[in-house]
Structure formats: structure tokens, C-alpha cells
Amino acid sequence: TFIATLIYYLIISNVLFAQTNQYSGWLTWAHQQKLTNKLGFIFDAQLRSGNSFTGLQTVLLRPGISYIVQKKIVAGIGYTFIDSKVYDAELSKSNLIENMIWEQLLTSYKINNVNFINRIRLEERFIEQQKNDVFSNRLRLFTKMTTPLSSSRLMSKGIYFVLQDEILLNLKNKQQLNNHFFDQNRALIGLGHQLNSNISLEGGYQNIYTLNKNDNVDKHIIQFSVFTKL
């Protein structure tokens, strides 16, 4: 399957090529607000710690508008603001800002008791750097699988299992970033709790494998997420 192939690739690449390990925590909130029968407001925010959980390093804010194309197909467009603290006194800028415009298409379907979400997102990135700022395009391919673990076997309430993976690919100006078409792979495994139809909680372990110009980074992340829908 698609997810199994991605996980296999992640494990093999980590074993063969990973050089630097980092450890951090992410706190995320994702919200969906229905505006009309077709339109909705979507927003997510993330707080990310520095390496070894050393304080707050990154703040991400991502508002957008969603449009229901069909029952299981949703398009979206939006903006992302990312503020990242630089823990290096020798560099001239202590914070680096990234502004981003994005477009996405999300599909969902169900096989037996397993729920799937697939998302394709294109990003136009305006990246601040210490010297020369960079414009780049990035493609993100995301798959998420959830299945209930409670006795009711329904996703409307109770505990469920989460498995997801996302591949990030550089489409433009990769030479000014990591010099690779492949940017990073993000894999997560965890558990969720559907409190009611409007609120769910998820917690788990996320592994981010990133290619850099000089070395590759293997990030180990404890992630906690809150999902709300109105």
C-alpha cells in the first residue's frame, strides 16, 4: 500500500543516511468553521520547541478558505506565516520569517472501518535567510489513516489509531535551499480521542527526515494536536 511503501522508505533512508538527531515537541490546533453549504474557514496554528526541548523556536499560523467541490472532495487556498528563532549569536538575524501562499485539494474515503484522507498542497514560499532571501515552490503529498479502537467501531466517539505520512518536494530554486528535489519526509504514529462531533485530540510520535546541503537531520518529535469543527 501507499503508506506501507512510505514507511519502508523512511526506515531505510534513516538507517542509511541519517547523520544528526534532534528532539523537540509540537503543539498544534486545527479548526474548521462552516460559512455556507459550500464555503468554510480553515485555520491551524503550531508551536514548535527548539532542539532538546529548549524553549519556543517556531510559531506557525495558517488561515485559509475551503470550498466543497463534491461530498468527499474539498479544495482550499490560504496563507501561512512562520516565525523561527535562530539559536546562534554569531548570525546577524535572530528571527527568520517565511510567508507562504498555498493551494490544496483534499479527498477522503473509507474502506471498512479505516478512514483515509489524501491531500495535495502546492506552496509558493517567500523565505527570509541570513543573506539572500529565496522564492521557492514546494509540493506536499499527505496521507492520513484512522481507525476506531473502541467497541462501537465508529469514529463519532472514542479512541482511534492514527497513521500518517507526508512527502515534501522542492520544485523551484532547490539550489538555494538544500540542493535536493526531495526536501523531507514526515511520518507520524499515534492515538486519538474523539470527544464528540466537534472536538478530537491526538497525540503521538512524529519522525521528520530532512535532507540538507551539508548533513541530513533526523528529528524525533512528540506531538499533541487539538481538532475543532463548528
Model pLDDT, residue 80: 98
Cell 474523539: give the residue: 194
Residue 18 has pLDDT above 80, yes or no: no
Q: For residues 151-164, b (16+ Cβ closer than 10 Å) or e, as one string?
A: eeeebeebebebbb
215 to 17, 18, 97, 183, 211: CA distances (angstroms): 9, 8, 23, 13, 7
**Measured distance CA(22)–CA(13) in Å, rounded:** 16
Confidence of residue 19 (pLDDT cuts 50, 70, 90): confident
Model pLDDT, residue 144: 98
Confidence of residue 73 (pLDDT cuts 50, 70, 90): very high
Model pLDDT, residue 32: 97
Model pLDDT, residue 209: 94
Residue 48 has pLDDT above 60, yes or no: yes
Residue 4 has pLDDT above 80, yes or no: no
Q: pLDDT for 173-194, tens place per residue?
A: 999 999 999 999 999 999 999 9
CA atoms within 13 A on the CB side of 42: 21
**Cβ contact 148:115 at 8 Å:** no
**Measured distance CA(70)–CA(81) in Å, rounded:** 29
**Measured distance CA(57)–CA(96) in Å, rounded:** 10
Helix (H) or strand (E) holding 12: helix 2-17
Q: pLDDT for 139-165, tens place per residue?
A: 999 999 999 997 666 667 899 999 999
Q: pLDDT for 104-143, tens place per residue?
A: 999 999 998 899 999 999 999 999 998 889 999 999 999 9
